[in-house]
Amino acid sequence: MHFPASDLNPEQTYRLMSGIVVPRPIAWISSVNAHGGVNLAPFSCYTFVSNKPPMVGINIGRKAGERKDTARNILANGHFVVNIGDETLLDPLHESAHEHPPEVSEADVLGLSVLPGEVIATPRLAAAPISLECRFHSVTPFGETGAEFFVGEVVMFHIREGLLQDGKIDTELLRPICRIAGPNYASLGPIVTKRGIQQTPKSVLKPEAA
């Protein structure tokens, strides 16, 4: 089967791409709305983009041409939290994708407890095994539908006791949720360990001379 991308409308393209780019990690973002409530929404177009300083990036699309609550809140406040859900949190994570008016707190609707941020004013989910407090860094628009790639600098890591082993997250203990096409999710399944491959150490670039 062959067909040009230009033949697809935005919805058809999304359905196709979301089944091709799999599995995807999920950024469960908490942000603060104009009424002081905690908005909560999952985003699976998510990755990390820098390790010094640590930075994460999330693609946030639009609904009927309008920015989603999360995008508006990030731009208004300059901070947000990326929570990582594990398998025990699949149901509330999925339900938090429901569209509510901006003033409604999904955390309240779902009965999820939050804890105050230590560096930023956005609360994090108490039940999340990992939460990343982020300061807004930049936003870059892409494409014709108004999608925007938001980048945040991680200023505080919250990691559940026992998950950090020798400076690395024990992924098997974390049991993260991943997204595939449609309302479908997957877990890790078997973990295959290969021999380590020597890598050149990461380093900070020296400023170029003027």
Tens digits of residue pLDDT in 111-123: 999 999 999 999 9
pLDDT at site 201: 86
Q: Is the per-residue pLDDT at 147 higher than 80?
A: yes
Are the C-beta atoms of residues 84 and 127 closer than 8 Å to each other?
no
The DSSP call for residue 190 is: P
Q: Is the per-residue pLDDT at 78 higher than 80?
A: yes
pLDDT at site 208: 79
Residue 196: count other Cβ atoms within 10 Å of its Cβ: 6
Are the C-beta atoms of residues 129 and 174 closer than 8 Å to each other?
yes
pLDDT at site 111: 97
Q: Is the per-residue pLDDT at 209 higher than 80?
A: no
Tens digits of residue pLDDT in 180-198: 999 999 998 888 989 999 9
pTM: 0.93
